[in-house]
Each structure stands twice: as C-alpha cells, then as structure tokens.
Structure 1
Amino acid sequence: MVSGIGIYLAAQNQWIELGFIRDFIIMLGGIAEAVCFTMAIFTYQNSIIKKYQGLLRKQNSELQTSVDLRTKELEYKNRDLVLAMQEKDSLLNIVVHDLKSPLNQTKALGKLLLHHTTDQNTMIEMLKRIEQASDHGIRLIDELSTISNLEQNNDTLKLEKIDLSNLMVPLLNNMELIAMQKSIKIDTEIKNNIHMQTYPNYLTRIIENLLSNAIKFSPVGSNISFLINDSCINIRDYGPGFSNEDLNKAFGKFQRLSARPTAGESSTGLGLYIVKLLADKLNLKIQLRSEPGQGATFTLWF
C-alpha cells in the first residue's frame, strides 16, 4: 500500500519514468498471482488432508466395529463350545450309568446261574431277566446312534408321496402284537386316501415310538386310540398322564419323568426326544396334551 502511494507521487512529479511504473505493476501482479496460486494450493491440500483424515477416521471406526463384532462372535462361540462340552460330559455320565445298570444285572444273574443250583422255572425267569437287560442296553445304544445321526445330518431329505393307510397298517399289526402282551387293545380309525409328502422311514419311527410309549405307560387291559384324518395323526392313551413339570421337559434328552411304565418296562428317556428330532426334520408340528391321571394325547400335524 505504501509502495503504491510512493510510486503514484513519483509519477505525478515525473520523478520516475512511466515504463518503470508499468514494469513495477506487472511485477506486483505476478507476485499477487503467485500468492493467490499458493493460497489456492494450500487450501486444496488442506481439503484433501481433511478428506483423507475423515476417511481414515471412518475406516478406523469400521475396523473397530468389525473387531468388536468378531470379538463378540468368538465369545458366543466359546460360550456355545463350553455349553456343548458340559452337555457332552453330562450325557456321557448318564449313558455310562444307564449302560452299567443292565450290564451289572446281566452279570449278577449270570453268576447265579453258574454257581447256584436252581429249579427250571427259576432258571427260565433269570434268563428272561437277562434278555430284558440285554434288550435295554441294545435299545439304548441304538437310540444314541439314531440321535447322533440325526443331530449331525443336515442333508435335504428326498420326500415321497405316500398313502398313510398303506404305511401304517403293517406297523399297527406289529404294535398290536406288543400290546397284546399287556392285554391292551389299539382302536384304529384311519381315513382312506390320505396322502402325505414325507420320508417314510422317519414317519414310521415317529409313530412306532409314540405307540411304544403309549403301550408302556398304559394300564394292563386298557385301550389306546389311533386316528388318522385329513390334517393329523392322533394317538391317545389312558395311562397316568404327564404332570405340568413333565409337560415342560417331555421332549428333552434323557429326561426322567414322574410317571413309570405300568408293567416294569425299561425306559431310556430318549424316545420322545427322537420323536421331536424326526418331526423337526419332516417339518411336522407335534403337540402333547395331558392332565395327571387322565392319560396323554400326542397329535402330529401335517
């Protein structure tokens, strides 16, 4: 500003030539342009820096969020692993206990037969008990194998369209033979031409387990009803039924319920758990209704 005023006064008094003034103004314009250009560059660089600082903060935030999510995921997996190990240990203890019982019984009865003279009737009774103990152990192993296969197999099932009457009649004939040993009658009502898209082996196992359960817990000389209509399969017994506490855990693994089999039959505590696994595999809804002393009704909706 001061330089500009001085040059103006010098020009008015003709102290300096006009050419010098022109060159000086051009020089000042170049300096101003350079200053403006430098400031523009500085402003641009500053905006770029701020932009990348913002991106860096965003990336750091996203990275931290990802780390937090991964940490939580690992915590959940670790918790699930701990729970799975605890369940495995618990189940192993139960299996060992349940297998030891029939084996010890078989061993004790075998010793009696070997080392003590008994009459023929007593011997036959002991052999029957050995057979029952062996059957219990074999059934437990079979059910554990079934559960292991079901829990690990996530393959898509190849469903078939079947006539329920054709599938159920042979099974019912076999179950009636078992029921006859307790003088139990199975009353059947099967509607004709009921077709279902299903996996026959799984459905057969479900019905077999439910009927076996009904026979096991029904009084000698009682009835069991078996019904098939357009929407469901219904099995009802007139045994001791389920308490409210039992209803909440009926489909659990190795659950010991308050009701006991009516003729001293053995129970693994796995039958209804297998039923639930199979029903889930077939996308079927299973419903249990019961009141203490009033029997139980299992309904399989399809």
Structure 2
Amino acid sequence: MNEVISTLIAGVLGLALGIVGVIAFRLSQARSSKLPQVDEPVLPEGAAAVLSVIGRAFVILDDVDGVVRANPASYAYGLVRGHTLVHNELLSLVRQVRADGVIAESQYELQRSTLGAGQLIVHVRVAPLGDEYILLLADDRTEITRTEAMRNDFVANVSHELKTPVGAIGLLAEAITEAADDPKAVRRFSTRMDKESRRLAALVQDIIELSRLQASDAIVQGQEVNIDSVVAEAVDRSHLIAEEKGITITVGGHLEEPILGDADLLMTAIRNLIDNAIRYSPEHTTVGVGIRQRDGYAQISVTDQGPGISPEEQERVFERFYRVDSARSRQTGGTGLGLSIVKHVLANHGGEVSLWSQPGHGSTFTLRLPLADEEPATSNALAGQTMKERTIEASASDREGGRR
C-alpha cells in the first residue's frame, strides 16, 4: 500500500515539474520576441565578392570604430584583436575618412603585437564603404621595404669602394706622365697602379659573383660534387698568394660521399676562406684545411694563425664591406665581399658557415653541407625551400655581408 502511495506522489511531482518547465519556456519565448532584432552588417552589392578575392588584409568598421568584418590576414598582421582595430594610427586615419569622406592612404611601421615582437611595414588605404561603413585595406610591404633599403645600402657601399681604386689609378697615371724622365719613379708608380687595378678587378668580380648568387636561378639543378676535388682546386688556386708570404697550406681528411650542388660556387666559397686566411696570417705560418663527415653533413674547416677576431666583431664579419681592420684589409687587397659570398653560397646549398675565433689565437671557419645520400633532420625544412627563399633568408639575416 505504501509503495502505491509513493508511486502516485512521484507521478504528481513529475507532472507538476513538467508543467512548470513548459510555462517557463513559453514565458522565455514571449520575452525574446519583444527584444529588438540585430541585423548582420549589410555590405553594398558585390562588395563581399570583391573582398573575397582581393588578396589583401581588409577590415570593415562601423560608425563607432567597431570591427564588423575582417579576414584572417588582418588578424595575422596584428591589425585586429577581437572586434577592435589595434593601432591608434589606423584609427586616426579611419576617423579622418569618416569625417571628410575622402579616400586616404599612408604607410606605417607597426608592431605585430602588444609585446613588441616584430615590426610590420604596411601600406594602408582607407575608403568609405556604402553609407555606414569604412573599409581599410592593408598590404604588407615589410620585405619589399627591407630589400629596397639593402639595395640602396649596397649601391652606396659599392660606389664608395669603387671610388678608391679608380681614383688611385687616375692619380698614379698622372704621376707616371709627370715622371716620364725618371725610370725608378715610373716603375714604382706602375707597380702601385698594377696593384690597384688588380684590386679593382677583384672587387668587380666579387660584385658580379654576389649578384649572381642572389638571383633566383643561382643553382638551377644541383649535381653530385666531390668535395675532395673541389678543395684541391681551391687550394691550387690559392698557392700563388700563399707562396708570396711563405705560407704553407695543409689539407687533412677526405670525404667519399658526394654532395648536391654547384662545384664552381663551392670552390669559390672555399677559395675565399683560404685566401682570407692567407691574407690575415703572419708570414711563414700554416693555413690548415680539414675535411670530414659528421652527422650526415660534409664539414670543411679552414684554420689560420692570424690575429683572431673579438666576439663583438664575429657577429658582423659576414656583412658586406664590413672589415675588422679597414686599413689592414685595404693593404692586403681584400674587397670586403669574400665572406658574404661564402655565406650566400652556403645558404643556396642548404648549408651554413660558422666561425670560431679568439684574439691572439687565430680563426677557424667551418662549412657544413648536407650529403647527397643523407637526410639530416635539420635539413628537412631547408629542402622544402626554394632557392630564392634561402637566398632572401641569408640577405635578411645579415646587414649585408663582407670580409674581415
């Protein structure tokens, strides 16, 4: 009997709760129907289709500067966070266009985030969109601007470097003419002229070589290269300047596995390192060249007994035209481009160049190149890059390289 009563009571309670739930749902619907309806932003006809294929970051703002629509690129650039346009410079331009209705454009250098990590150079165009909205278009000009700056810097440096030997040759030619009756003076001036002309020829050749390396087709198709043969040729081409200073070049080790690349470019890079070592080594010393395989890479090291390089200077020796000792470099005939060429050759081959040096204890430059039949973990990402991307990376990482 008690069980029957309990069951009836539970049924009544369940029914009551169900009725209460239905009443609450109906009241909620009635209350919702009285709220104002908020429409989605209505863009002018055809605007959405155009924006979807425009290929630039875009942001649409309402009359209170709220972001009503933005594409993923605008978030990736850090222009928009949530429903807010982040940068005050852009907000000021938007308000100016809203006030006068005239299309405006400008270029800004902005931070990608509030943490200040990374700079972004954007060209912005702001225009009214219909009667209610403002359209902001942004184009990333960071890489273009940096490339133009590097090009201008390079042209200025080249002009300065060419002016010195060209001016010296002109003065020496004039001196020879005036000293025509003095054979000793003529020989002295002609010797100096020959030195300056060779320096000018080397500089022009290095400029041509560096320009070729920065072209997107620097290495169209890599071929198997025997490192031992490349090193032997580089050493052979450096024997003349080594003999002039009584310097011995010793080669140790060998590598049977080939690498993929351009033999001429690799020979140029290794020869530049050897020439650099000879120029900065004291007379009657030794320059060592080591070859070995390690962790799926070919390693070629060039060691000198020169004055060494301080830690502060080591970060800059690969910059174009940078010299640790400018006076000494000019005296030895350095062009200021040798180490930059080395860096670009290695970048184009998916490798790297590193430096160990200590003042008073010489320097060692080491080239690391992936072997043809190996797949080192660190080279997988490089394998997916185009030649142009690797060259741009090398350019962006330095402030435009050079020799000590």
Shift in CA distance, 184/118, structure 1 to aligned 2, threshold 3 Å: farther
Q: Kindly provide the amino acid, as one letter, of the partner of residue 354 in structure 2.
A: Q
Q: Going by fraction, where is helix more abundant, 1 or 2?
A: 1
Shift in CA distance, 251/221, structure 1 to aligned 2, threshold 3 Å: same
Separation in structure 2 between the aligned mates of residue 166 and residue 88 of structure 1, nearest angstrom: 35
Aligned with 2:122 (options 74, 85, 99):
74
Percentage identity across paired residues of the two chains = 22
Whether the 8 Å contact between 2:179 and 2:185 is mirrored in structure 1 is no
| Residue in 1 that maps onto 2:359 | 292
Whether the 8 Å contact between 2:179 and 2:186 is mirrored in structure 1 is no
User: Offset at 1:223?
Assistant: 0.7
Matched residue SS, 1:249 = coil
Shift in CA distance, 214/108, structure 1 to aligned 2, threshold 3 Å: same
User: Offset at 1:286?
Assistant: 1.2
| Residue in 2 that maps onto 1:123 | 186
Q: Which has more radius of gyration?
A: 1
Matched, 1:88 2:151: yes
CA RMSD of aligned residues (A): 3.1
Matched, 1:209 2:276: no
Bigger RCO of structures 1 and 2 (CA < 8 A, at least 6 apart)? 1
User: Offset at 1:263?
Assistant: 9.4
Q: Going by fraction, where is strand more abundant, 1 or 2?
A: 2
**TM-score normalised over the length of structure 1:** 0.73
Separation in structure 2 between the aligned mates of residue 67 and residue 201 of structure 1, nearest angstrom: 42
Matched, 1:266 2:333: yes
Separation in structure 2 between the aligned mates of residue 80 and residue 262 of structure 1, nearest angstrom: 32
1:225-264 residue pairs with structure 2 within 5 A? 225-231=288-294, 232-258=299-325, 261=328, 264=331
Separation in structure 1 between the aligned mates of residue 329 and residue 163 of structure 2, nearest angstrom: 23
Separation in structure 2 between the aligned mates of residue 109 and residue 155 of structure 1, nearest angstrom: 38
1:39-188 residue pairs with structure 2 within 5 A? 53-54=39-40, 63-65=69-71, 68=74, 74-75=122-123, 77-117=140-180, 119-154=182-217, 157-188=220-251
Shift in CA distance, 50/83, structure 1 to aligned 2, threshold 3 Å: same
Whether the 8 Å contact between 1:165 and 1:194 is mirrored in structure 2 is no
User: Offset at 1:170?
Assistant: 2.8
Separation in structure 1 between the aligned mates of residue 235 and residue 331 of structure 2, nearest angstrom: 23
Deviates more, 1:110-119 or 1:215-224: 110-119
Matched residue SS, 1:202 = helix
Number of paired residues? 255
Whether the 8 Å contact between 1:240 and 1:293 is mirrored in structure 2 is yes
Structure 1: state its 5+ residue gaps: 1-42
Whether the 8 Å contact between 1:227 and 1:233 is mirrored in structure 2 is yes
Structure 2: state its 5+ residue gaps: 1-29, 49-59, 61-66, 80-119, 124-138, 370-404
User: Offset at 1:196?
Assistant: 2.4
User: Offset at 1:272?
Assistant: 0.5
